[in-house]
Chains A and B, each alone.
Chain A
Amino acid sequence: MLAAELVFGMLAAAALASVIATVLAVESRDLLKAVVFSALQSVAYTLMYFLLMAPDIVLVYAAVAVGIYPLILILLIKKVGRYEG
């Protein structure tokens, strides 16, 4: 049963990390930093999907949430300016 507890423990840690990253992303006034925090949150989610035994979702989530989505947002930030306010 130790393995199951380890998995649940890692799930909890990843979930906690994702909450912290989300708060930082929402709070950040520097949009570029917000994108990086958002990607960090996605990394935590990717780990959670992997622990929940959904490797198919991991493959598409990692590519979209860490690759495509931050890069699109960076393209947009280039147009609207880096700082909120």
Chain B
Amino acid sequence: MLRSIAFAITLVVFIVLLAYATAVGALGPLPPPHLRRLAVCVLNTTYNPALLRLGFSADAPEGVTAVVWDYRGLDTVFETVVLYGAIIGTLALYRQVLKSEERRESHSSERAEALRGGLSTVVKVATAVIVIAIGAVGAATGLHGQLTPGGGFQAGSILAVIPVVLLVVFSRDFLIRSGVRYARMVLLRNVGLIGIGLTALGLAVVATLIGVRGFVLQNQPHDGSPIGYPKWVLDVPSGGSLLFFNVFEMLAVVAGFTIVFLVLSLREDAAREEIRGEERGC
């Protein structure tokens, strides 16, 4: 008990000291309370029809998404590639195990049998309803990323809750039986990444073909380049390339998370058996 109190007091003292040091400026100058020049510039150019005619507007109602995919698009592309590499690395480590698991699962239990595992029927029915709601929220976050706070990564991580919930409430077998397989998830992830790449290169390629100026990761016309992505989808502002980036990023993120969950929920004994077999050289 005494130990717990001492721990709590230490934590509080540490936080108070850190807050005090920050407040007096020991960790560098404090941010000014008014808007900085960069923020003013971004706010002025994000959605400004007057500037758009001059070629100085991102034409996206949501500032954060515009900064993430337009002003600082290259940063985000690299971020996505890093996450992709990490997940491919995980898969490479488990390649042999995953292959044998897939083979075993593809002709093991029937669907009805897979449904029998997991938690009680009450929990399952409630989960089935909630999963639909999570899917709707995720899709709305991704597809409206250029209008309201949210975007591809946010939507992907909201949608990734679905496979985890299904994994816990139903079972791994159920998830695999429903068609959530490694190969498919890797395919979906690749589709997302190729989509991001094509959206980034799209205008540069088109510009080269028709013989005008164009840039990689370009969104709206600017700096001597007359072409741009469509500004409207039906009667909704689409933010040009932002809508495409958000949708493809959503696919890539949800598939990536699902792959990680499938790897994490592997049966330990099956994985061990496979590794032992490898050590024996068969």
Contacts and interface: CB of A to CB of B under 8 A. Distances in A.
Contacts of A56: 64-65, 149-151, 154
Nearest to B4: A27
A59 B137 CA distance: 10
A17 to B, nearest CB: 13
A76 B264 CA distance: 8
Contacts of B64: 56
Contacts of A22: 11
B11 A23 contact: yes
Interface size class of A (residues with CB under 8 A): 20 to 34
Interface residues of B, number: 27
A49 B210 CA distance: 46
A64 B45 CA distance: 32
B151 A67 contact: no
Contacts, number: 59
Interface string B261-278: 100110010000000000
Contacts of A63: 154, 157-158, 160-161
Interface in A53-75: 55-56, 58-60, 63-64, 67-68, 71-72, 74-75
Given A56-B149, A74-B168, A64 B157 contact: yes
Contacts of A74: 168
A53 to B, nearest CB: 10
Interface of B: 4, 7-8, 11-12, 15, 64-65, 141, 149-151, 153-154, 157-158, 160-161, 164-165, 167-168, 257, 261, 264-265, 268
